[in-house]
A and B are shown apart, each in its own frame.
Chain A
Amino acid sequence: MFEKKKITSFDQNCSLEIFIKNSDKYKELEDDSRSVQNLITMGSCYSYVAASFKEKSLSINVKNFNRILFFDKEKKIITVEAGMKIFELLNFTLKHNLWIPQIPGHPFVSIGGAVASNVHGKSCAFYGTIKNSVKNIKLFHKYHGWLNLNSEENKDIFDLTIGGLGLTGTIISVTFILQELNGLNFLTTVKSVNSISQTVDFLESSDEKNLTYSWNTIDSNLDLNSFGKGLIFENKIDEKNNLNSYKKIKFINKKRIFPINLWNNITIKSFNYLFFIYHNYIRKNLYKDNFSNVVFPFYNKEIYFSLFGHKGFIESQILISKEKIHEFLEEFKRNIDIHKPSITIFSLKKISGKQKYLRFEDNKICLTFDMVSNKKNTHFLNEIYKLYIKYNVLPSIIKDSNLDKETFNRCYKEADIFREKLKKFDPKRLYRSELSDKLNI
């Protein structure tokens, strides 16, 4: 029996009535999957976009499949079920000074969701995306049955599944290669920068092993040399101060939303001003920080998202080459001067990897910005999409609900290859989400 439920994407831009089932036995999962024509898998439903549901279709929620199936401390290998949350994995591995470095910003994301989205996190300059930590995947497909996927067995499907948005079937468990973590305490250095150009130069010269990212304010009508004044945060593991143990993260459902949007030009400017003053003048520019604060920047700060109200927010995250970023920023700024969007957060970091299929990775600069969801900002974003195509930018599929099929097709050079291979594996295209239908994947 399935439950009828209204589900909303994390960015609040897509709300649909769906059928949902929380299976808790393998047999039940098999039977439920085979009982319908189309379905998709749901983890924590923390995707910004409608990646884990589709209108009037079945979402199999794997939250009850959240167990540790294998752990070898010596070989640094762990197998966990896909419904386990990132924080649950870390609560266990950190006791053994081990972790996977590619941790998404939100601790409640599920393991299956993280693999299906090929998440990266703050350490992506050095460690790349979660793909680099995945050794094996166990997948259930309603026609193909149970499949073991790794670099030797079902190699093609393994490749399609990581970052494949759950379209190859239900990820049941994932085996990770863990990395040693030399300390749970960090030293955070804060530096101020006068512009985004200066930020890019700094990121280029920074030590990739540190977790480095920027926070920039976006004001219109400034010249390019002073556009994007902000701060650069550099988190470095404090190996000398390894005394404090990891404070376990507990699950708190904080998906509460304010009835109205409280982010506007006045509140954004005031917040940014206070944030800048606090970090630049009041707080020391070198301070001790703990693991949760560094790795999960939004943990316990969920109010940031709540303040967007029921209309939600739009986030665009893109990868752009170092060679083209200055030229891109010039045109980006010109559009900001014209459209004056309400940008709440603007941030840059470095990322490494090799782009393939739908995976959001490359040796590029990763630029992220959030906006209030309204007509003006959507119009601005549609103009910016033209720049994405012009400058060969890669926009993240899982962050932007607004991303259209044309921009996606032109930015993802391997989209058709992915479609073709997926169709070959699953000719009836059984696993579909609202997102995959929209982008015709």
Chain B
Amino acid sequence: MKYIILGASSGLGRELAYSLAKKNNNLVIISRDERDLKAIKEDLEIQFKITVQSFELDLSSLEKIQNFFNSNPIIIDEIDGILMPIGMIIKDDKIINNFENTNSIIQANLGSVIYFVSKFYPAFVKKNKGTIVGFGSIAEMFGRDKNVVYSSAKRGLSSFFESLAISSLSTKLNIQFYIVGYMNTNLSYGKNILLAKGSAKELAKIVCNNFNNNYKKIYYPYWWIFINILFKITPFFLLRYLYKFIKKN
């Protein structure tokens, strides 16, 4: 089996690469920094004796993604699944954002995923086999005054995966979507968080164990599902008032 992992050089992407390599799967790993990719590729090939192709690609640019598909020899028919644990945040992502930042955040968190799925989906449908795994964020639960574009893109991603699950109803495709809370990765490093952080290694194991199941939407760590229900049943004006109260105090 051969899987593509986007954002494989760190955090959850890296853990997914090792989990899949342990099960003797060949990999195509894609990330922004060639040095990190090279180190992971060497390690995976030496330790697990698998074949790893690595590609340097900035997923925040649709143009670069298009060029990548035009110039790289990924044989779409050979791929058995795509895993897209991508998350890009920038420091000053507020209501007022410049064009470049807005575009980059949307492309990295949403556009690139949609583009990759659209490239591989026809081949998967034809084979009636294939795995597509996406990773949302708890940031999508509620609008906010920071990481504004990021949370919007993640909410869009959630909608896209629902559409994917609906569209693939008559197929045997394995669609998985994870709403991920705070993890022990560098995205939440150094932040004071009341709830315990989830383990990227553990989540990678869960993802691999769900490869043969039907559509899954999973909250990780699991308690976020209860928080999500609370958000869903509480009227927005009340949440807004609560937010104002918390900010004040």
Contact = CB atoms under 8 A, between A and B. Distances in A.
Contact of B33 (A26, A64, A70): A26
Nearest to A70: B42
B14 A68 contact: no
A207 to B, nearest CB: 35
Contacts of B43: 67-69
A273 interface: no
B125 to A, nearest CB: 35
B40 A67 contact: yes
B191 interface: yes
A153 interface: no
A21 interface: yes
Nearest to B38: A69
A3 interface: yes
Contact of A22 (B9, B189, B191): B189
Contacts of A68: 42-43, 46-47
A25 B33 contact: yes
A25 B9 contact: yes
Contacts, number: 48
A397 to B, nearest CB: 31
A2 B192 CA distance: 11
Interface in B176-191: 185-186, 189-191
A70 B39 CA distance: 9
Interface string B6-37: 00011100100000000000000000010110
Interface string B95-138: 00000000000000000000000000000000000000000000
Interface in B42-66: 42-43, 46-47
Main secondary structure of the interface of B (DSSP, over half): helix
Using C-beta atoms within 8 Å of the partner chain, give the interface range for chain B. 10 to 19
A331 interface: no
A241 B76 CA distance: 52
A27 interface: yes
A27 B32 CA distance: 10
Contact of A92 (B33, B36, B47, B191): B47
A165 B163 CA distance: 56
Given A25-B9, A25-B33, A67-B40, A3 B14 contact: no
A24 interface: yes
Contact of A3 (B11, B42, B46, B190): B190
B42 A1 contact: no
Main secondary structure of the interface of A (DSSP, over half): mixed
Contacts of B14: 24
Contacts of A4: 190
Given A25-B33, A68-B46, A68-B47, A81 B190 contact: no
A271 interface: no
A71 interface: yes
Given A68-B42, A69-B42, A24 B186 contact: yes
Contacts of B42: 67-70
B39 A67 contact: yes
A92 B43 CA distance: 11
A358 to B, nearest CB: 30
A68 B48 CA distance: 11
A68 B191 CA distance: 31
Contacts of A22: 186, 189
A201 to B, nearest CB: 47
A67 B191 CA distance: 27
Among B9, B47, B186, B191, the most chain A Cβ lie within 10 Å of the Cβ of: B186
B184 to A, nearest CB: 9
Contacts of A26: 33, 35-36, 39
Interface string A84-99: 0000000010000000
Q: Which 9 A-B pairs have the closest CB atoms?
A: A67-B43, A1-B190, A3-B190, A24-B10, A26-B35, A68-B46, A69-B42, A68-B43, A71-B46
23 contacts: A1-B189, A2-B190, A3-B189, A3-B190, A4-B190, A21-B190, A22-B186, A22-B189, A23-B186, A24-B11, A25-B9, A25-B33, A26-B35, A26-B39, A27-B36, A67-B39, A67-B40, A68-B42, A68-B47, A69-B39, A71-B46, A81-B39, A92-B47
Interface of B: 9-11, 14, 33, 35-36, 39-40, 42-43, 46-47, 185-186, 189-191
Given A26-B35, A26-B39, 4 more contacts: A3-B189, A23-B186, A24-B186, A70-B46
